[in-house]
Structure formats: C-alpha cells, structure tokens
Structure 1
C-alpha cells in the first residue's frame, strides 16, 4: 500500500520531491496552455476537419436554441477571468515559499486532468460530437468533485481557479451540452424539462454556500445563471426559463454576499443553530475559503 501511495499522483502529501515539483511545473503549465490556446482558437474559428456539425464554440451555442443556451459575452468573460486566475495559481508552483508551493502541488494532478478533459471537450464540441463531449464533462465533473472534497482548506487563490471555477462551469456545461445532445431539444417537452432542471443550479450552489460557506461557488454559479438568463430572454421574452434563471442568479448572489461579507471582515457567520457552536472548529477546517495561506 505504501508503494501505491508513493506512485499515486492523486494521493495527499505533506511534501513533494524536487523531481515531482519540476514535473508539476512542466505538466501544469503545458496542459493549461493547451486548454487556453484551444479555447481561444475555437472561440473565433471553426474546425476544418471532421464530419459532424462543425462550428466555433459560440456558433454551436447559437445554432441550438435550447433551454440552457448561454450568452456568449458573459460566458466568455467568465472564462477569460478564470484563465487569468489560473495563471496566478501556476505562479504558486514557482514560489520559493514551501507553504505556498505545497498546496499548489497537492491539487496539481487534478488540475492537469481538468485541462486535458477541457481540451477534449472543446475538440469534440466544436466538431459536433456532443455525446462524447458529454462523457468528457461527466468524467471531469467526477475528477473536480473528488478534488473539492479531498483537498479543502486551501487559499482562495488556489481554490477559485483550480476547484470552484472549473467545477461550477462543468456542472452547468453538463446541462448546456446535454440539451444540445438531446434530439428535439427545442420541443415543448424539452423546454419543460429545462424549466425543471435549471433549479438544480440553485440547489447545487446553496449546498456549497450553506454547508461549506463557499461563496466562490455561489458567485460562479450566479454568473453562469445570468448567462443563461440573458440568452433565454433575448430568445423568447414570454417564457419561464429566463425568469427562473434570473431568480436563481439573484438568490445565489444574495446568499454569496451574506457569506462573503462576514468572511472578509473576519467574522465566521454560520447557517446553524447556536447549539451547534461546539462543532465550529471542525467545520472551520473544512471550509475552503477561510484560510488565506
């Protein structure tokens, strides 16, 4: 078992060898550049190979008037900010401070895997292979969920770009791509299912806000809900989907502020009864955003 632990790239470690640090620096940077270049290229260009329904990322989004169609401007800004924050995370790997570098290395394997799955998703999505793209999203969702629950307590400068940002996107993208994948996605039945499933974004966000006080998940999901709401509004003014999306956005944003403001002021606001205060120290260790180091 000890041998398995040593060779397992996803195992928790308190320190890392010089060789593994160099490996993390190299693979993390290369995989991030791969995801970055492919995303930017296919934002403006369509592939010239393949036999499916080819198009750029937002051409595919615009061609399919599903219940989860997104506004390309808001979604593009989301990814632009996320890539910038991820560059900041990568800088942690090159830090001379061991306390800064160690947690960055700890999440490195999951981050590299996330970049590879994102690359595969984009390559499949723009070529119209939506079913295989969905598989990539689901596997990456499992990867990022495992990362979230196995590595908590890290700085927000690691948590946001590596964990909550990609996880929030992947969760919503499963519905986004899944709606495109389903035949007759613009039918009345599909719209009704969309009206129901969009509320899972609210439930998912509130889970992390209430249980983990993770205001980054709340904010990320509120932005993506806004992207859906804007796109649905301009598609059809008289419809429930954009109303639901903006309601979800508002609730998540308010809940996010309710958690973020006390946290930024150093006050630990809890959505629990006073009788549970004895368990606060353990809960505080589980909260991913309270530690700045």
Structure 2
C-alpha cells in the first residue's frame, strides 16, 4: 500500500520531492499552454480537416441554438480571466516559499488532467462529436469534483479559484451546454421545457458550495456563467422563461456571494458556518493535544 501511495499521482501528500516538483512544473505548463492554444485557435478558426459539421466554438454555439446556449462575449471574458488566474497559479510552482509550492503541487495532477480533458473536449466539440465531448465533460466533472472535496482548504485566489472552482463551475455548466446540443430536436418545445427545469440545478449547485463551504469563488463563477446564459437566451427569444430564470439565478448567487465574500475579506465570519471552516477549527483544537 505504501508503494501504491508513492506511485499514485492523485494521492494526498503534505510535501513533494524535488523531482516530482520538476515534473509538475513541466507538465502543468505544457498542458496549460495546450489548453490555451487550442481554445484561442478554435475560437477564431474552424477545423481544416473536413468540409462538413465543422466550426469555431461560437459558430457551433450559434448553429445549434438550445435552451443552454451561452453568450460568446461573457463566456470568452470568463475564460480569459480564468487563463490569467491559472498563469498565476502556475507561478506558485516556481515560488521560493515551500508551502506555496506544496499547495500548488497538491492539486497539480488533477489540474493537468483537467487541461488534457479540456483540450480533447474542444477538439471534439468543434468537429461536432458532441456525444464524445459530453463523455469527456463528465469525466472532467468527476476529476474536478474529487479535487474539490479532497483539497478545499487551499488559498482561494492563488490556487483554489484558478485550479479548482473556476474549471469546475465551467464544466458543470458546459455539461448542460453541450448536452443540450447533443440531444436530438434540442430546439423543440419539450427540450425547452426540460431546459427551464434543469436550469435551476445551477442555483442548487451554487447554493450547496456557498452555504456548506462558504465558497464565494464558486458563487461568483456560476453567477457569471448564469449571466452568459441569460444574455444569450434573451437575445435569442425575448418572450421566454429561460432568460428570466437565468438572470434570477445570477442575482441570487451574486447577492449570496457578496454576503459571504465581504466578511471573508474583512477577516470576519459569514452569517453561517461552513464545513471547511468547522474542519479547520477541529484540526486547530486537536493540534495542542497532538503536541502534548
């Protein structure tokens, strides 16, 4: 078991060897560049390997309108900011502070997998292989969910947001976005009814992290993506419920995010306790006993 733990790249470790840190630096930087390059390229250009059913990311979004179509401008801004934050996360691997390097390395394996799966998803999505793209999104959702619950106590802005909550929020919404395109007759009345129902899962998902983990980064990320959904649905069809629901979800998540974020930034407690903080408090109370 000890041997397996040493070889398992996803095992939880308090520290990392110099060799493993070098590998994390190399693989993280390469896979991040791969993810960025393919996303930017296929935002601007369509695939050249074929004549039919090919398009840029946003051409696919426009050509297959559904109840979960997203606004290109807002979503692109989301990804630009996320990529820049991820560059800041990568810089933690090159930090002179041991604790910063260990924190970055602890999520590194999952982050590398996220980059590879995102790369593959984009390659499939722009070529209209929506079913396989959905499979990869679900795999990445499992990967990032595992990462979240195993590593939820790292610094919010330098590690957690760029490597954990930002990609996880996107993957959750993208499952609906790509899934709606994947379903036959996705623009029918039945599909729109189901879209009006499932859109509320974004609110439930966001509330879970805000209430139980007081994670304002998840709340903010999901509120931005809800805004993207709302704008796209409003421009698509003014007389409809989907954009009203999306903006309602955005407003609720944003208000609760502010309620949680302001006390956190001021060094105070939010109106309710979170599981992550209770776990940290328990560890802190046990520390003196362990020292004795």
Shared fold per TM-score greater than 0.5:
yes
1:234 aligns with 2:231: no
Matching of residues 67-78 of structure 1 within 5 Å: 67-78=67-78
1:282 aligns with 2:275: no
1:215 aligns with 2:212: no
Matching of residues 142-181 of structure 1 within 5 Å: 142-156=142-156, 157-181=158-182
**Deviation of the 1:202 alpha carbon:** 0.2
3-state secondary structure, aligned to 2:153 = coil
Unaligned runs of 5+ in 1: 287-293
User: Which residue of structure 2 lines up, in the alignment, with residue 113 of structure 1?
Assistant: 113
Matching of residues 44-83 of structure 1 within 5 Å: 44-50=44-50, 53-83=53-83
Residues 52 and 129 of structure 1 are in contact (CA less than 8 Å); yes or no, is this contact kept in structure 2? no
**Deviation of the 1:271 alpha carbon:** 2.5
Residues 29 and 90 of structure 1 are in contact (CA less than 8 Å); yes or no, is this contact kept in structure 2? yes
Give distance in 1, aligned partners of 2:225 and 2:212. Answer: 21
**Deviation of the 1:282 alpha carbon:** 2.5
**Deviation of the 1:52 alpha carbon:** 5.6
3-state secondary structure, aligned to 1:183 = coil
**Deviation of the 1:285 alpha carbon:** 7.2
Residues 213 and 277 of structure 2 are in contact (CA less than 8 Å); yes or no, is this contact kept in structure 1? no
Residues 200 and 249 of structure 2 are in contact (CA less than 8 Å); yes or no, is this contact kept in structure 1? yes
Task: Using structure 2 for the length normalisation, give the TM-score.
Answer: 0.94
Greater CA drift, 13-22 or 2-11? 13-22
User: Which residue of structure 2 lines up, in the alignment, with residue 291 of structure 1?
Assistant: none
Give distance in 1, aligned partners of 2:215 and 2:171. Answer: 17
Give distance in 1, aligned partners of 2:79 and 2:282. Answer: 29
Which 4+ runs in 1 deviate beyond 4 A? 283-286
User: Which residue of structure 1 lines up, in the alignment, with residue 17 of structure 2?
Assistant: 17
Give distance in 2, aligned partners of 1:235 and 1:181. Answer: 19
| Per-residue Cα deviation, 1:206-243 (whole angstroms, up to 9, x for no partner) | 00000000000000000000000000001110000000
- 1:190–1:153 CA distance, 2 compared to 1 (3 A): same
Unaligned runs of 5+ in 2: 284-292
Task: Using structure 1 for the length normalisation, give the TM-score.
Answer: 0.93
| Per-residue Cα deviation, 1:22-79 (whole angstroms, up to 9, x for no partner) | 0000000000000000000000100011476110000000111100000000000000
User: Which residue of structure 1 lines up, in the alignment, with residue 102 of structure 2?
Assistant: 102
